[in-house]
């Protein structure tokens, strides 16, 4: 290596380090930046199994399995189906995963994502190892399903520890799991979901520290509760690799009220987002009635 090229690399590293300091904290070289996509924004429509959580857990009739939910997605003309991990059988076999893959393929559906639950705000030890192993296990399941993306959570700062400590632990866990997921061709997508990721600032403080090309954001449009959640969504949208759309928002000091879905879609277009938009319905109306109506509205908006 010549002295000139070596000096250039040092200068580039110094510039990257300085830029990291300017955005608040050190941003490691190799951490993800806003996703650059060629072409114009293009969105495909999916639905989250969580929308039918009471039917999928037997709390409300008609009781459903994931097969029933997949059939619903096909009947409603969707391109994708989001199979939340909570509704899989307790014993997950390779035969069952092959069945889901077979069924969705014949129905013309992609499995757009497989959301899981985890807590990465834990110090090194057995409890943290358990959560990391859980996410890696689901990476294997996602790969078997040909699901390209897995939603993950950050977790919250445990008592007796600082937010900075929790963030460092979270980044360590995400990077370890992303290394594993990348070997299987699966993205990990961090959701804005309370705890360290409750605000755009908190979420990006994690995102900008993670060094992996297999990492991005699961943008949930209903989970920011500042005075202007739409502004927070616009901050985070450039990092999104998958999106969950809620039909309500709850700004600070306000009751829940209907979301401006057209505004959501506009934010995604401005970020040149290309990928799946999954309706994740949580409102009070019967999902069997409300979900098809909201899907029809979203279909018109995304074109």
pLDDT digits (tens, 9 = 90+) for 194-203: 999 999 999 9
pLDDT digit string (tens) for 75-123?
999 999 999 999 999 999 999 999 999 999 999 999 999 999 999 999 9
Instruction: Pick the closest to residue 279 from 247, 256, 248, 251 (CA basis).
Output: 247
Q: What is the pLDDT of residue 5?
A: 37
Bridge partners for 211 per DSSP: none
Domain boundaries, the chain: 37-302
CATH topology of domain 37-302: TIM Barrel (3.20.20)
Backbone phi and psi for residue 48, each to the nearest 5 degrees, phi listed first: -85, 135
pLDDT digit string (tens) for 264-278?
999 999 999 999 999
Q: What is the pLDDT of residue 27?
A: 58
Averaged pLDDT, 169-189: 99
Task: Please state, in angstroms and rounded to a whole number, the distance separating the CA atoms of residues 120 and 105.
Answer: 33
Bridge partners for 283 per DSSP: none
Q: Are the C-beta atoms of residues 25 and 205 closer than 8 Å to each other?
A: yes
**Residue 7 confidence (pLDDT) above 50:** no
Global pTM value: 0.90
């Amino acid at each position: 290596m010549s002295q000139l090229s070596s000096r250039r690399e040092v200068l580039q590293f110094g510039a990257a380090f300085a830029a990291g300091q300017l955005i608040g904290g050190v941003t490691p070289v190799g951490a993800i930046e806003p996703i650059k996509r060629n072409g114009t924004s293009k969105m495909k429509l999916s639905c989250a199994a969580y929308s039918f959580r009471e039917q999928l857990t037997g709390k409300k009739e008609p009781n459903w399995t994931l097969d029933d939910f997949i059939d619903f997605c096909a009947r409603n003309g969707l391109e994708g189906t989001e199979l939340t991990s909570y509704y899989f059988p307790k014993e997950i076999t390779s035969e069952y995963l092959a069945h889901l893959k077979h069924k969705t393929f014949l129905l013309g559906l992609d499995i757009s994502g497989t959301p899981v639950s985890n807590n990465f705000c834990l110090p090194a030890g057995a409890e943290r190892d358990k959560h990391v192993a859980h996410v890696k296990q689901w990476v294997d399941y996602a790969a078997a399903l040909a699901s390209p993306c897995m939603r993950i959570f950050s977790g919250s700062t445990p008592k007796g520890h600082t937010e900075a400590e929790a963030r460092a632990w979270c980044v360590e866990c995400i990077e370890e799991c992303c290394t594993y997921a990348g070997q299987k061709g699966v993205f990990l997508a961090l959701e804005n979901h309370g705890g360290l990721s409750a605000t755009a600032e908190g979420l990006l403080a994690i995102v900008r520290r993670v060094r992996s090309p297999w990492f991005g954001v699961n943008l949930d449009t209903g989970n920011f509760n500042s005075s202007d959640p739409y502004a927070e969504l616009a901050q985070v949208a450039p990092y999104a690799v998958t999106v969950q759309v809620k039909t309500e928002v709850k700004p600070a000091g306000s009751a829940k009220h209907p979301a401006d879905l057209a505004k959501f879609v506009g934010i995604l277009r401005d970020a040149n987002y290309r990928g799946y938009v999954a309706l994740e319905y949580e409102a009070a109306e019967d999902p069997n009635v409300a979900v098809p109506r909201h899907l029809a509205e979203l279909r018109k908006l995304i074109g």
